[in-house]
A and B are shown apart, each in its own frame.
Chain A
Amino acid sequence: DAGVTQSPTHLIKTRGQQVTLRCSPKSGHDTVSWYQQALGQGPQFIFQYYEEEERQRGNFPDRFSGHQFPNYSSELNVNALLLGDSALYLCASSFSGVEQFFGPGTRLTVL
């Protein structure tokens, strides 16, 4: 049973560019959450998608947007990248329960 997968593993962008990160949830899961983890910090909740709609959102600007597809996979888009967007981006999935299963993350570096 495949767990949560994320792609790419690592990418480098320059300020002002746009980036798209992808997440495939654990088999049977229908809810996807995204988190940003800056170096030396705990993860911060960005938003959560359920039934292709944004269900919850944390304190992040509109430059951060997302999408969920009918197969429950999800994308995180970040526009107009800033140096401060450099972080590990974690995806977590769940199904009608409290426990969230995390993926290995995507390391984004903004130069």
Chain B
Amino acid sequence: AQTVTQSQPEMSVQEAETVTLSCTYDTSESDYYLFWYKQPPSRQMILVIRQEAYKQQNATENRFSVNFQKAAKSFSLKISDSQLGDAAMYFCAYSPYSGGGADGLTFGKGTHLIIQP
């Protein structure tokens, strides 16, 4: 079974600075997807960024980027120029590639990100 581990229960960063959230996973599959989701106090889960395992290039979305190390099974999220609106729970998630659309996601326990003004 696949597992996702987030070892940082809470992180704090000053506004406008950069923060990196860590995630490791375990799988025997060679093709899969990795995601970072954001869950603010409103509870709505929002996709931040995704990475296909077959792609060597790290995904980026504006201020958000990932460092995907397939051999080490590591998938960290870097948030640059942190903003107050970035404060939320961040979840790392894994999905196998089945070729038939979205599969059930396996989530980590989350990292609570605090932005200090």
A interface, CB within 8 angstroms of B: 31, 33, 35, 40-45, 47-48, 50, 56, 58, 88, 90, 92, 94-105
B interface, CB within 8 angstroms of A: 4, 33, 37, 42-47, 50, 91, 93, 95, 101-110
- Closest Cβ of chain B: how far from A108's Cβ, in Å? 13
Cβ A100 vs Cβ B107 within 8 A: no
Cβ B102 vs Cβ A98 within 8 A: yes
CB closest residue in chain A, given B112 = A40
- Closest Cβ of chain A: how far from B109's Cβ, in Å? 5
CB closest residue in chain A, given B97 = A98
Cβ B101 vs Cβ A58 within 8 A: no
Complex alpha-carbon distance, A98 and B105, angstroms: 10
A41-B109, A92-B45, A103-B44 are known; give 7 further A-B pairs, CB within 8 A.
A35-B105, A43-B105, A47-B104, A48-B102, A48-B103, A88-B43, A102-B37
Q: From known contacts A96-B101, A98-B33, infer whether A42 and B47 are also in contact, taking CB-CB under 8 Å.
A: no
- Closest Cβ of chain B: how far from A10's Cβ, in Å? 11
- Closest Cβ of chain B: how far from A68's Cβ, in Å? 14
CB closest residue in chain B, given A95 = B101
Cβ A50 vs Cβ B101 within 8 A: yes
Q: Enumerate the 3 nearest inter-chain pairs by beta-carbon distance, A residue then B residue, closest first.
A: A42-B107, A45-B104, A102-B45
CB closest residue in chain A, given B47 = A99
Cβ A43 vs Cβ B45 within 8 A: yes
Complex alpha-carbon distance, A105 and B39, angstroms: 11
- Chain A residue numbers with a CB within 8 Å of B107 are 35, 42-44
CB closest residue in chain A, given B92 = A42
